[in-house]
């Protein structure tokens, strides 16, 4: 027997007519049936296919509404019959076109005339037993599968249905969508792929599938019309889109251009829509609708740790200063950084102007001016800094910057004050494939920083400072195939290496030396406490750095999580230290996840503390530790 896609639905000994039975019987008894709710228990017998069982449970109104939406007798029968249809559709979607479904309420089929009077007479305190038994029956497989139409070979290769595969609806529909996506990506902007013509043969238990594709003409991109602009200039928008007329149409190209435009931070949203028909030149015009974000934004943040004290930061940003996404940010910080001198605060102020696409696309000019007064255990510092840098984005993940920075500082260490003036030429390469800056669950973040410095006033003519830092994030739930719980279990690892060449450690300005310890380094040890010490037993800093961290992050509820970590680090005054010099801290943390990022509370202890170190350090902040 050959026919369109359908299956027989068995309820007790009856067949398809039972979908009308509850309505007929229900109206007959409607006047007599009590409106009281009928509490019920539900048992769905497993089918030996866990994936199918989960789909059946997800589709069941009897299951999802049992506690949240109590029903009376007539509505319970109606809900059960609705579930029968849902279960039948689930079976067919998995390739079972001749399944057997039986739903019994209080031991009776839903078409049993005695069911409604029976439910009416049950005591209000008793739970009615509802039992679902499903026999999927034989698995149907694909028979003849065809794709017709003038489809190029590249798009035809995306049609991956094969004779003999299980006749699962999702697979069949995905094959047609894959062909359509391939045609669109190849420039066939008006391509159409009709729904599949599927015929089930119950005798051979096969499904024949026919797809008809109409590619239409291959088109190029036409002019872009922009609407919704207020202060942002259209020439900037078109330059960021980089969709010149004549380019081959491609949905991925359009989406990349849209995301690139949003990355500038000026727009709240952008919608890029192709026209329904080509223009007179045979090109497909595009319509861009945008909405700008508020011009100004104020941010306030804070952090606390038992070694550094509390820090409060505030910033004011103008997102579009001159109309082409120029960003001006003014920032101020107040920190009670010193452990032993809580009455002395540290201050910093900074202004930054970033001009995108300054000469060519993806080349930005950044100007910085800052002042700082800080009181640390390692040194006291008063400084003015100024700098400029060019930032070039090479790809979506790779960027590079080069600049020139001037620093004039007066630094006191071990009660000896020195003045320093120097120029540095910072170079930075960054690779970032992480999925979230504040709470990454997968990807790699790698940065290489090289800073040659020329000293105009100090104890040396110059030196070279280099630092390599990398972090990797592994979504364990994804690796184990638990697609419905992505990001719940994450393993994070970090490694940092640093080296200063060209000058003795004590000739390098103290603020340029390497230090370790604290919330962003080795938790459990006080800030900057690891490494060489001065004559008065304060941190001296060094010319070699080695740091590493390993952290397990686990979600334990919708908004809560926990972490366990091991941090290690060493600072040396004669090159990169070996692992024997490592200071190790271990700890646990909790996370509360908010829309702006996780709030982090970490407790850490040093395994080999220095004299006078607290046995436990506490760190509170926004975002993960690394």
DSSP element (H, E) containing 269: strand 267-274
Mean pLDDT for the chain overall: 88
Judged against a pLDDT cut of 80, whether residue 26 lies above it is answered with no
CA–CA separation, 407 vs 390, rounded Å?
18
Are 356 and 364 contacting, i.e. CB atoms less than 8 angstroms apart? yes
CATH 3.40.50.2000 fits 296-622, yes or no: no
Are 4 and 199 contacting, i.e. CB atoms less than 8 angstroms apart? yes
CA–CA separation, 243 vs 221, rounded Å?
7
Q: What is the pLDDT of residues 367-397, one digit of tens each?
A: 999 999 988 889 999 999 999 999 999 988 9
Single out the residue of 243, 193, 206, 252 nearest to residue 222, CA to CA.
243
Q: What integer pLDDT is reported at residue 510 of this predicted model?
A: 95
Give the rounded distance of the alpha carbon of 255 from its chain centre. 18
Q: What integer pLDDT is reported at residue 410 of this predicted model?
A: 96
Residue 71's pLDDT band (cuts 50, 70, 90): confident
Strands (E), 378-527: 380-393, 398-413, 416-424, 427-432, 443-457, 462-475, 489-501
Residue entry with tokens 């500038």: 264
DSSP element (H, E) containing 569: strand 560-572
CA–CA separation, 21 vs 81, rounded Å?
9
Residue 25's pLDDT band (cuts 50, 70, 90): very low
Single out the residue of 331, 300, 301, 297 nearest to residue 317, CA to CA.
297
Judged against a pLDDT cut of 50, whether residue 1 lies above it is answered with no
Q: Where in the chain is the domain with CATH 3.10.20.310?
A: 141-214, 220-292
Pick 121 or 240 by higher pLDDT.
240
Q: What is the pLDDT of residues 404-449, one digit of tens each?
A: 999 999 999 988 999 999 999 999 999 999 998 889 999 999 999 9
Runs of H (alpha helix) within 194-289: 234-241, 251-262
Judged against a pLDDT cut of 70, whether residue 234 lies above it is answered with yes
Judged against a pLDDT cut of 80, whether residue 189 lies above it is answered with yes
Q: What integer pLDDT is reported at residue 469 of this predicted model?
A: 97
Q: What is the pLDDT of residues 89-134, one digit of tens each?
A: 999 999 999 999 999 998 899 888 888 888 877 776 678 899 999 9
Single out the residue of 354, 316, 309, 308 nearest to residue 332, CA to CA.
316
Those residues with Cβ within 8 angstroms of residue 123's Cβ, 6 or more apart along the chain or in another chain? none
Longest dimension (CA), the chain: 102
Judged against a pLDDT cut of 60, whether residue 339 lies above it is answered with no
CATH for 220-292 is 3.10.20.310
Are 433 and 397 contacting, i.e. CB atoms less than 8 angstroms apart? yes
Residue 43 DSSP SS3: strand
CA–CA separation, 369 vs 161, rounded Å?
62
Judged against a pLDDT cut of 60, whether residue 21 lies above it is answered with no
Pick 87 or 309 by higher pLDDT.
87
Which tokens is 234 given?
Answer: 């259209």
Q: What integer pLDDT is reported at residue 68 of this predicted model?
A: 83
Judged against a pLDDT cut of 90, whether residue 30 lies above it is answered with no
Residue entry with tokens 């920083």: 449
Those residues with Cβ within 8 angstroms of residue 462's Cβ, 6 or more apart along the chain or in another chain? 422, 452, 453, 454, 455, 502, 503
264: DSSP letter: T
Mean pLDDT in residue range 574-583: 73
Q: What is the pLDDT of residues 285-305, one digit of tens each?
A: 999 999 999 999 999 988 888
**103: which strand partners?**
132
Select 141-214's CATH number: 3.10.180.10, 3.90.420.10, 3.40.710.10, 3.10.20.310: 3.10.20.310
Are 502 and 463 contacting, i.e. CB atoms less than 8 angstroms apart? yes
Distances (CA, A) of 541 to 508, 592, 610: 10, 35, 16
Q: What integer pLDDT is reported at residue 19 of this predicted model?
A: 40
Are 247 and 259 contacting, i.e. CB atoms less than 8 angstroms apart? no
In this prediction the pTM is 0.75
What is the phi-psi region of residue 307: left when phi exceeds 0, alpha when psi lies from -120 to 50, beta otherwise?
A: alpha
Q: What integer pLDDT is reported at residue 215 of this predicted model?
A: 94
DSSP element (H, E) containing 246: none
Q: What integer pLDDT is reported at residue 10 of this predicted model?
A: 30
Q: What integer pLDDT is reported at residue 17 of this predicted model?
A: 31
Mean pLDDT in residue range 126-147: 92
The Cβ-side half-sphere exposure at 464, using a 13 Å CA radius, reads: 5
Q: What integer pLDDT is reported at residue 308 of this predicted model?
A: 80
């Amino acid at each position: 027997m050959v026919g369109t896609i359908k299956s027989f639905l068995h309820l007790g000994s009856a067949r398809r007519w039972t979908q009308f039975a509850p309505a007929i019987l229900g109206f007959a008894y409607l006047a007599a049936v009590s409106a009281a709710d009928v509490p019920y228990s539900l048992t769905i017998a497993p089918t030996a296919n866990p994936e199918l069982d989960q789909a059946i449970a997800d589709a069941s109104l009897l299951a999802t509404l049992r506690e949240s939406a109590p029903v009376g007798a007539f509505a319970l029968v109606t809900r059960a019959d609705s579930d029968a249809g849902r279960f039948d559709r689930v079976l067919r979607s998995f390739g079972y076109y001749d399944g057997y479904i039986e739903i019994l309420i209080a031991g009776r089929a839903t078409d049993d005339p005695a069911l409604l009077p029976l439910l009416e007479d049950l005591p209000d305190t008793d739970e009615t037993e509802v039992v679902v038994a499903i026999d999927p029956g034989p698995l149907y497989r694909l028979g003849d599968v065809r794709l017709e139409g003038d489809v190029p070979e590249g798009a035809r290769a995306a049609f991956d249905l094969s004779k003999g595969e299980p006749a699962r609806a999702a697979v069949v529909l995905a094959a047609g969508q894959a062909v359509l996506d391939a045609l669109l990506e190849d420039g066939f902007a008006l391509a159409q792929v009709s729904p599949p013509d599927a015929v089930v043969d119950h005798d051979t238990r096969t499904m024949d599938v026919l797809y008809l594709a109409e590619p239409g003409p291959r088109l190029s991109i036409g002019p872009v019309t922009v609407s919704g602009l207020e202060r942002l200039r259209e020439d900037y928008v078109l330059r960021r889109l980089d969709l010149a007329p004549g380019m081959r149409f491609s949905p991925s190209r359009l989406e990349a251009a849209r995301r690139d435009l949003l990355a500038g931070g000026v727009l709240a949203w952008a919608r890029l829509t192709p026209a329904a028909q080509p223009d007179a030149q045979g090109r497909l015009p595009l319509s861009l609708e945008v909405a700008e974000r508020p011009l100004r934004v104020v941010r306030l943040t804070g952090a606390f740790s038992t070694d550094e004290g509390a820090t409060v930061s505030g910033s004011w940003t103008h997102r579009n200063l001159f109309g082409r996404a120029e960003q001006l940010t003014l920032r101020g910080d107040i920190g009670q950084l010193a452990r032993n001198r809580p009455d002395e605060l540290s201050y910093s102020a900074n202004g930054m102007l970033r001009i995108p696409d300054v000469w060519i696309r993806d080349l930005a000019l950044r100007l910085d001016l800052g002042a700082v007064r800080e009181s640390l255990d390692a040194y006291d510092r008063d400084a003015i800094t100024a700098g400029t840098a060019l930032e070039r984005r090479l790809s979506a993940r790779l960027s590079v910057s080069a600049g020139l920075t001037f620093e004039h500082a007066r630094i006191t260490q071990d009660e000896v004050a020195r003045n320093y003036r120097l120029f540095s030429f910072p170079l930075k390469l960054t690779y970032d494939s992480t999925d979230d800056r504040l709470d990454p669950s997968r990807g790699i973040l790698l940065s290489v920083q090289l800073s040659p410095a020329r000293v105009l006033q100090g104890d040396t003519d110059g030196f070279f400072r280099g630092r390599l830092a990398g972090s990797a994030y592994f979504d364990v739930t994804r690796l184990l195939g638990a697609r419905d719980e992505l990001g719940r279990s994450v393993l994070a690892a970090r490694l940092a290496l640093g080296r200063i060449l060209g000058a003795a450690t004590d000739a390098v300005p103290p603020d340029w030396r390497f230090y370790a310890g604290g919330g962003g380094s080795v938790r459990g040890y006080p800030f900057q406490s690891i490494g060489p010490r001065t004559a008065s037993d304060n941190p001296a800093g060094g010319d070699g750095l080695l740091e590493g961290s390993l952290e397990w992050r686990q979600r334990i509820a919708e908004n809560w999580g926990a972490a366990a970590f091991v941090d290690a680090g060493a600072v040396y005054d004669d090159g990169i230290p070996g692992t024997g010099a490592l200071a190790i801290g271990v700890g646990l943390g909790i996370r509360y996840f908010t829309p702006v990022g996780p709030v982090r509370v970490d407790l850490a202890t040093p395994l080999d503390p220095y004299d006078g170190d607290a046995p436990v350090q506490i760190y509170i902040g926004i975002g993960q530790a690394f």
